[in-house]
């Protein structure tokens, strides 16, 4: 159970069945480095653990095996790897080893403090011999110094006087978690990291390791600082270092061990051994309090912009804070990394980056931290060459096709029907480049990066599609809904491709006007004629529509299939993908997640309101939400369609998905996209935000359960604060020049503050 | 080059590039045992070989690996394994080792004698030291004693007198061939067979082996019989036995070694060790001439029925003999085995049984040897329980789904879109049970076997399909054409399923009338109501049809796809499956093989002639024939549509596919289905045979290249000989009671002989 505290996630009890889930929920990360919330002292043998630490974008290469390997099938994949284990600290008191599974736990509290950016454990423990200690363990992954993770271990003696022994370890022999029967995690045990050297330089313990196939290096460094006079006995073997720290504790006294851990890797550092040492010197030279203060200051400024406040529902407020905080913990802040499907909280989906980044997580960063957003987009720009190569493998003469899942840029999907066939990722990425432009009006970014990405993705659609009956069609792709694969004219894909093509043309004009179109065109062999083919294709894009039902079918033949027999599907058979052969699932009208409904959210102007409404109702009945990317979209669309009650229900399912482990696999890591979905649910759903070429729009509603809500967004060098209560809606321009905003269909000039009374709005609706 | 000799395949030269192909073409098999045509003395190191011997249906189990394993994916598969290598015989003369790659080859001739059922090698060789020998090596796999393979090795000295040493080996340490980049052969090296014991019992050398995963046993026994006094030195190690045979040869004299090899396995023999010994005693007790005579007698009676004679084209005649002979070499004649895609000639497709058996090879046996035909059908009946289990894995509540590829009955397909998704195999099997009934009118067989197979396959269709707009639809399956996967209402599948359902109803009536329907119904829980649902479904089966074009599209959306750009596809990019990602191929109108055209051949009465004609022309333009199952069907349909010229061209491509290695992979084994296709091309194509509920029909044509052709078929306890020349067509009832036959639309009573003059026929056409 997690206590309702809006800034903290608190666990008061130790439930064995919850151990692995808590490892995820209480993980400590800063976008570069992530350490799962394993106990320093470990569990007892009968309890499973996924003990791990990860660096974003740091991977090894694994062979991909196929029972039947056809042309172009992925032969190898990157995977995030578990790095040196620095978490171990054993405490011995009078011969008893501290363990929560022995002796007596008098008090237990674990806290994720989202304002301070630390995870704390407070324990009062009576040893088998009856000695009582208060143990406080704080963990932090520094946002300011990303290579730093630290464990601040404090011991207070209640009734004991004598020797305490702390045995702190740094273990280089690590491996990844695997489960052969779950397609969502790695299937086979494999060793990825080999220790090349163990060193001790002054009082710093160093482990140098190298990945087995990708030839990357990682260095970990550990330094122990103890509050009292102590004796340290250091030993090592081929792959690990152990420090046995002995000191005496007085009755009632408090002693403290700070374990500083530095991780550097050869992707970012030309000499990661030297860099690790320098970083260690730097962080240990300053008082630790400064490190905590800098963390606090970083988070203060983060929350100042990013906070989404809800009054009237503490549980929900907590869930929203958790979501937003986890986005920050997960996001890579350099061009070498992105946001993995599980952030840095676990090994699910092998640390790969998916479309999740663009469609679910980038919206948050684009609206709150454009530097991070541009970093994420730049990552895609940097991988354009890899995407071009991928397009060739998939049989395309021209253009770039982004891989469905990747770390370093090449395709890592081993099952193409619900992997590489999801060509929509190309349009998803393009969509977010456009959104970034609409939010920032950053023309330089378009010239330097976005345009080329849009051009190459547009080209891919031209090479994929074809004309029939004067409409442009796209065959043999898979839409977002992975329960229906390899279809023709998936509505989502086609409408997104249309937008991709349309904006490729627009960006061409932008570069022509403000940049050097000749240079760019020459470098990729582009002509005006080719651009005009994009224009024609987007104008003639075929969007499947059922006139009788006034619904967009998911694809050409979706409506001719039988509906899934939900009434005869036992509850334990969900998620369907773990209980039915994919071919069986493909045969029915059943959706894993929002597909057409998502398309209607992203591009609402493509359809009439009635079509959007009818589609929502139709798909709602056949969607299992087996994907964690689904309920947030249904919440947003319910809000937009005016069903506040339903929007609220879907939103509740969204915000607490991991906190309540509703998908039963939080142990493998957080559903990070769903965290982004929570943010979107608030901003795009309840507040009804739209950012279009024609301006910025709001359409706020408020569920009856809440008193009010409030958030800020950055828009074209401005900061706009939105406050919505049951009585009124207030827009405040906290920064930047006046602008026109559209609220409920009315234009307002926002100079300082606009207050719109809901009563008056109702009156005007009645009029 | 193969010499044109209608009963022999002859090779006169040793071309290194042809070595592995010749291993296939000159393999020796009898349906139980197959030994590739490897040289006893081996090659030199630089030349690759697939050295192997196989027992039909004798398999090990291999893990199937998936990069991403979804529910129901095949976890293990059977594969045919290479068994003890008994082929080795080294010859030493005055210190020189006989090898065709050293010394001087004065004459070389290898012959497959299809009348005698033996493969012979005749060599005149001058050793480096100048000694000349004539060596004649004969190999036979006995049809009469299937566990026997023998090598009859004769040496004639031309200019040498002195010691000859023969070193004969039996090697238990064997492994299978693999190629990680070709989906048509095994991808990984794996050891499957372990020698458990080596024994020598009197003069018989025995190797006992066991498979590693399937726990099957195989025993091989070798005995050497030498024509002259000799000294035999026997040695052995953990897994092999060697006999060093020394004797003196006189100038001009001939000496001979007969190497008898027996193979017995634990699938067929309760004590395969003892059985091997007994068999060896039995075969070595009789003079070898008797063995040759019995082989000859077996083949004489085979050819008496099975021969298809063409006069006027020796090359073609040779090709037809080769095809028919290979069908006999390949076919399993007990209920434990069937016909592997490569027969017993190689390891391609891992020894699996496919729909090839029913649709391509069984027609030959049904018309010429009903005992063998019933054995093949019985194999499917025996695997019904496995097929039921497979249906459950694939999500079906009821019915049986035969696996796409298997040996022991469970699914071995590792890539379901072009594997398990080919549900049509169910209807293919049902179709052949029906054809067998129409040819034999064997009601007992229907009662005991066919009915249950038809019922369970019919049930599967009911569980797979559904009604929309009062038509019965089948979604998410793959038709025969593997270049288009996972489609709705594949015409072939639907029309074959219709036939399956229709005949399930008919067989229900047969059993009701002649058998114990209550017993059968109870044993599988069948009711009359359920049978009536089959009736409704077949009557309402949806068969996709394009009215404007008067063509059956291959599936619901086939015609909306772009056509493959054949003009820009370089020749070396065929077969497409080895040069393009499957997703790319799926996107286009391009066919690997006959699909709708095949459906029109099997069930011509379902469509108008114009539709069949238009479809043929349409699909012909987009079919690559990358599958070896294709040209034979196009030949048959061209013949039926009256285009003799085209029928002939396709037929020529069919008959010599392996002899001329036109698919470039004959090294991996014969395209056995194509052998059946050759037979069908003659009988169903040129002779226009149809066997329907309403009787037997002929519509013979003859290409201008031929003088005449002739064959016999067994039909309802009769034997009918068909002779067609440019002048007349003669039907002769060689056995059985008079019957009505239909020739060119006219009914004739065939009592003894009917002679139909072609001139008169033309006159009546003109009239």
pLDDT at A291 over 60: yes
- Same-domain check for residues B108 and B256: yes
- pLDDT score of A364: 98
CATH number for position B667: 2.60.420.10
- Same-domain check for residues B162 and B58: yes
Residue B109, domain member (yes or no): yes
* Mean pLDDT for the stretch of residues A83-96: 97
Q: CB distance A414–B468 less than 8 Å?
A: no
Which H or E element spans position A464? helix A451-464
Tell me the per-residue pLDDT of B647-704, one tens digit each, with 9 for 90 and over: 999 999 999 899 999 999 999 999 999 999 999 999 999 999 999 999 999 999 999 9
Residue A733, domain member (yes or no): yes
- Pick A468's closest partner by Cβ from B183, B414, B560: B560
Tell me the per-residue pLDDT of A369-381, one tens digit each, with 9 for 90 and over: 999 999 999 999 9
Q: Which of B732, B742, B723, B714 is nearest to B363 (CA)?
A: B714
- At residue B413's C-alpha, the angle toward residues A482 and B659, to 5°, is 130
Q: CB distance B414–A66 less than 8 Å?
A: yes
Residue A370, domain member (yes or no): no
Considering only CB atoms, which chain B residues are within 8 Å of A183? 68-70
Q: CB distance A419–B71 less than 8 Å?
A: no
Nearest residue of chain B to residue A414 (CA atoms):
B67
CB-based contact, B397 to chain A, within 8 Å: no
For residue A565, how many other CB atoms are within 10 A of its CB? 9
User: CA B688 to CA B742: how far, in whole Å?
Assistant: 11
Confidence of residue A45 (pLDDT cuts 50, 70, 90): confident
User: CA A500 to CA B695: how far, in whole Å?
Assistant: 62
pLDDT at B767 over 60: no
Q: CB distance B557–A556 less than 8 Å?
A: yes
DSSP state of B98: P
CATH number for position B162: 2.70.98.40
DSSP state of A143: S
Residue A166, domain member (yes or no): yes
- Same-domain check for residues B240 and B339: no
Residues linked to residue A66 through DSSP beta bridges, in sequence order:
B66
User: CA A236 to CA A511: how far, in whole Å?
Assistant: 59
Q: CB distance A416–B581 less than 8 Å?
A: yes
Q: Which of A374, A150, A154, A120 is nearest to A253 (CA)?
A: A154
pLDDT at A312 over 60: yes
* Mean pLDDT for the stretch of residues A523-540: 98
- Pick A74's closest partner by Cβ from B67, B417, B421: B67
Range of the domain at A755: 710-766
Considering only CB atoms, which chain B residues are within 8 Å of A73? 581
CB-based contact, B573 to chain A, within 8 Å: no
Domain end, chosen from B260, B281, B310, is at B260
Considering only CB atoms, which chain A residues are within 8 Å of B341? none
Q: Which of B124, B337, B149, B166 is nearest to B257 (CA)?
A: B166
- pLDDT score of A191: 85
pLDDT at B764 over 90: no
Helix axes A491-514, A424-440, angle to 10 degrees: 40
Residue A491, domain member (yes or no): no
Confidence of residue B181 (pLDDT cuts 50, 70, 90): low
Residue A650, domain member (yes or no): no
Q: Which of A82, A176, A79, A177 is nearest to A414 (CA)?
A: A79
Lowest mean pLDDT among A169-178, A667-676, B69-78: A169-178
pLDDT at B187 over 80: no
- Pick A68's closest partner by Cβ from B183, B421, B468: B183
Whether A153 and A121 have beta carbons less than 8 Å apart is answered as no
CB-based contact, B53 to chain A, within 8 Å: no
Q: What are phi and psi of A428, to 5 degrees?
A: -65, -45
Q: Which of B106, B120, B116 is nearest to B40 (CA)?
A: B120
* Residue percentage of chain A with pLDDT more than 70: 98
- Pick B71's closest partner by Cβ from A419, A473, A578: A578
- B606 in active site: no
Whether A576 and A592 have beta carbons less than 8 Å apart is answered as yes
Question: Hey, what's the torsion of the CAs at A342, A348, A353, A357, to 10 degrees?
Answer: -30
Q: How far is A401 from chain B (nearest CA, A)?
A: 13
* Mean pLDDT for the stretch of residues B113-125: 98
- Pick B64's closest partner by Cβ from A67, A578, A581: A67
Name residues whose C-beta falls within 8 Å of residue B421's C-beta, 6 or more positions apart in sequence.
Answer: A583, B476, B477, B478, B485, B486
Q: Which of B616, B583, B247 is nearest to A391 (CA)?
A: B583
CB < 8 Å from A in window 160-189 of B = 180-181, 183, 187
- pLDDT score of A252: 96
Considering only CB atoms, which chain B residues are within 8 Å of A578? 71
Q: Positive or negative, the Cα torsion across A624, A626, A631, A634? A: negative
CB-based contact, B371 to chain A, within 8 Å: no
Q: CB distance B415–A183 less than 8 Å?
A: no
Confidence of residue B183 (pLDDT cuts 50, 70, 90): low
The pairing of strands B104-113 and B746-750 is unpaired
CB-based contact, A664 to chain B, within 8 Å: no
pLDDT at B1 over 50: no
CA distances from B657 to A517, B309, B651, B664, B670 (A): 56, 19, 10, 9, 9
Q: CB distance B415–A68 less than 8 Å?
A: yes
Considering only CB atoms, which chain B residues are within 8 Å of A396? 584
CA distances from B700 to A65, B640, B708, B725 (A): 51, 9, 11, 10
Residue A614, domain member (yes or no): no
CB < 8 Å from B in window 182-221 of A = 183, 187
Domain end, chosen from A266, A284, A302, is at A302
Helix axes B424-440, B491-514, angle to 10 degrees: 40
Confidence of residue A737 (pLDDT cuts 50, 70, 90): very high
Confidence of residue B136 (pLDDT cuts 50, 70, 90): very high
CB-based contact, B548 to chain A, within 8 Å: no
Nearest residue of chain A to residue B468 (CA atoms):
A560
DSSP state of B705: T
Given B23, B482, B606, B710, the catalytic residue:
B482
Q: How far is A525 from chain B (nearest CA, A)?
A: 21
Considering only CB atoms, which chain A residues are within 8 Å of B393? 581
- pLDDT score of A1: 43
User: CA B690 to CA B612: how far, in whole Å?
Assistant: 16
Q: How many CA atoms lie within 13 A of A271 on its CB side?
A: 6
User: CA B99 to CA B85: how far, in whole Å?
Assistant: 19
- pLDDT score of A385: 98
Confidence of residue B184 (pLDDT cuts 50, 70, 90): low
pLDDT at A529 over 80: yes
Domain count, chain B: 2
For residue B685, how many other CB atoms are within 10 A of its CB? 31
Which H or E element spans position B304? helix B288-306
What is the number of CB-based contacts under 8 A between chain A and chain B? 164
- Same-domain check for residues B170 and B305: no
CB contact burial A358-388 (16+ within 10 A = b; e otherwise):
bbbbbbbbbbbbbebbbbbbbbbbebbebbb
- Pick B583's closest partner by Cβ from A67, A421, A585: A421
- Same-domain check for residues B243 and B102: yes
pLDDT at A609 over 80: yes
Confidence of residue A137 (pLDDT cuts 50, 70, 90): very high
Tell me the per-residue pLDDT of A425-451, one tens digit each, with 9 for 90 and over: 999 999 999 999 999 999 999 999 999
- Pick B70's closest partner by Cβ from A70, A582, A587: A582
Q: Is A24 helix (H, G, I), strand (E, B) or coil?
A: helix
Tell me the per-residue pLDDT of A458-490, one tens digit each, with 9 for 90 and over: 999 999 999 999 999 999 999 999 999 999 999
pLDDT at A766 over 60: no
Confidence of residue A187 (pLDDT cuts 50, 70, 90): low
- pLDDT score of A184: 66
* Residue percentage of chain B with pLDDT more than 70: 98
Q: What are phi and psi of A88, to 5 degrees?
A: -75, 120
CB-based contact, A466 to chain B, within 8 Å: yes
Residue A547, domain member (yes or no): no
* Mean pLDDT for the stretch of residues B523-549: 98
Whether B487 and B555 have beta carbons less than 8 Å apart is answered as yes
Domain end, chosen from A302, A320, A347, is at A302
- At residue B605's C-alpha, the angle toward residues B601 and B607, to 5°, is 85
Question: Hey, what's the torsion of the CAs at B478, B484, B488, B493, to 10 degrees?
Answer: -40
Whether B305 and B347 have beta carbons less than 8 Å apart is answered as no
Nearest residue of chain A to residue B419 (CA atoms):
A68
Whether A349 and A184 have beta carbons less than 8 Å apart is answered as yes
- Same-domain check for residues B304 and B250: no
User: CA B461 to CA B396: how far, in whole Å?
Assistant: 10
Given A482, A530, A606, A710, the catalytic residue:
A482
ipTM above 0.90, yes or no: yes
Nearest residue of chain A to residue B555 (CA atoms):
A557
* Mean pLDDT for the stretch of residues B368-394: 97
Confidence of residue B45 (pLDDT cuts 50, 70, 90): confident
What rounded mean pLDDT belongs to chain B? 96
Q: How far is A473 from chain B (nearest CA, A)?
A: 8
* Mean pLDDT for the stretch of residues A5-11: 94
Q: How far is A764 from chain B (nearest CA, A)?
A: 47
């Amino acid at each position: 159970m997690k206590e309702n505290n809006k800034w903290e996630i608190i666990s008061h009890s130790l439930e064995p069945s919850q151990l692995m889930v808590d490892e995820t929920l209480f993980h400590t990360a800063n976008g570069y480095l992530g350490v799962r919330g394993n106990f320093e002292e470990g569990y007892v043998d009968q309890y499973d653990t996924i003990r791990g630490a990860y660096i974003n974008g740091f991977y090894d290469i694994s062979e991909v095996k196929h029972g039947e390997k056809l042309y172009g099938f992925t032969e190898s994949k990157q995977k995030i790897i578990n790095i040196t284990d620095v978490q171990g600290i054993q405490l011995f008191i009078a011969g008893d080893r501290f363990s929560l599974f022995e002796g007596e736990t008098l008090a237990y509290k674990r806290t994720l403090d989202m304002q301070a950016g630390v995870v704390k454990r407070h324990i009062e423990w009576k040893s088998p011999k009856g000695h009582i200690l208060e143990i406080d363990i704080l963990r932090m992954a520094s946002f300011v110094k990303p290579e730093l993770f630290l464990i601040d271990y404090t011991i207070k003696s209640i009734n004991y006087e004598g020797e305490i022994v702390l045995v702190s370890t740094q273990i280089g022999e690590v491996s990844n978690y695997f489960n052969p029967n779950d397609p969502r995690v790695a299937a086979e045990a494999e060793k990825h990291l080999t220790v090349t050297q163990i060193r001790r330089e002054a009082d710093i313990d160093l482990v140098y390791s190298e990945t087995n196939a990708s030839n990357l290096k990682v260095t970990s460094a550990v330094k122990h600082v103890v509050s009292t006079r102590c004796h340290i006995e250091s030993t090592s073997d081929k792959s690990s270092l152990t420090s046995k720290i002995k000191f005496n504790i007085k009755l009632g006294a408090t002693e403290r061990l700070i374990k500083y851990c530095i991780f550097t890797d050869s992707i970012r550092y030309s000499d990661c051994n030297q860099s690790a040492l320098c970083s260690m010197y730097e962080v240990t030279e300053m008082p630790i309090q400064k490190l905590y203060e800098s963390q606090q200051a970083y988070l203060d400024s983060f929350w100042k912009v990013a906070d989404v406040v809800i009054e009237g529902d503490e549980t929900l407020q907590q869930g929203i804070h958790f979501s937003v905080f986890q986005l920050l913990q997960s996001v890579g802040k350099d061009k070498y990394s992105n946001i993995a499907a599980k952030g840095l909280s676990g090994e699910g989906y092998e640390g790969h980056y998916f479309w999740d980044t663009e469609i679910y997580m980038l919206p948050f960063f684009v609206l709150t931290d454009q530097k991070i957003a541009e970093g994420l987009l730049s990552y895609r720009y940097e991988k354009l060459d890899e995407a071009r190569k991928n397009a060739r493998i998939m049989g395309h003469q021209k253009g770039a096709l982004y891989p469905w899942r990747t770390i370093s840029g090449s395709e890592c999907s081993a099952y193409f029907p619900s992997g590489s066939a999801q060509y929509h990722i190309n349009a998803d990425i393009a969509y977010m480049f456009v959104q970034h432009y609409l939010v920032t009006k950053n023309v330089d970014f378009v010239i330097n990066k976005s345009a080329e990405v849009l051009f190459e993705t547009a080209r891919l659609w031209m090479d994929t599609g074809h004309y029939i009956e004067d409409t442009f069609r796209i065959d043999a792709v898979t839409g977002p809904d992975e329960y229906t694969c390899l279809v023709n004219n998936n509505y989502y894909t086609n409408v997104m491709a249309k937008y991709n093509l349309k904006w490729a043309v627009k960006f061409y004009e932008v570069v022509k006007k403000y940049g050097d179109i000749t240079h760019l065109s020459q470098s990729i062999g582009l002509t005006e004629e080719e651009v005009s083919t994009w224009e024609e294709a987007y104008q003639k894009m075929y969007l499947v529509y059922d006139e009788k039902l006034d619904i967009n079918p998911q694809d050409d033949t979706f409506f001719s299939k039988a509906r899934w027999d939900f009434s005869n599907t036992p509850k334990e058979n969900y998620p369907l993908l773990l209980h039915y052969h994919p071919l069986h699932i493909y045969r029915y009208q059943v959706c894993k997640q929002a597909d057409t409904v998502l398309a209607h959210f992203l591009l609402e102007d493509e359809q009439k309101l009635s079509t959007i409404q009818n589609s929502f109702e139709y798909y709602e009945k056949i969607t299992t939400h087996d994907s964690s990317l689904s309920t947030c979209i249904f919440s947003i669309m319910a809000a937009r369609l005016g069903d506040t009650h339903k929007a609220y229900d879907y939103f509740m399912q969204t915000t607490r998905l991991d906190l309540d482990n509703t998908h039963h696999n939080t142990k493998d890591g957080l559903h990070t996209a769903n965290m982004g979905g929570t943010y979107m649910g608030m901003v795009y759903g309840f507040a009804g935000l739209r950012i279009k070429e024609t301006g910025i729009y709001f359409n706020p509603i408020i569920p009856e359960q809440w008193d009010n809500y409030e958030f800020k967004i950055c828009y074209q060098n401005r900061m706009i604060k939105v406050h919505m209560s049951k009585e009124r809606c207030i827009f405040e321009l906290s920064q930047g020049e006046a602008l026109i905003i559209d609220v409920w269909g009315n234009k307002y000039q926002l100079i300082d503050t606009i207050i719109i009374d809901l009563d008056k709005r109702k009156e005007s609706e009645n009029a």
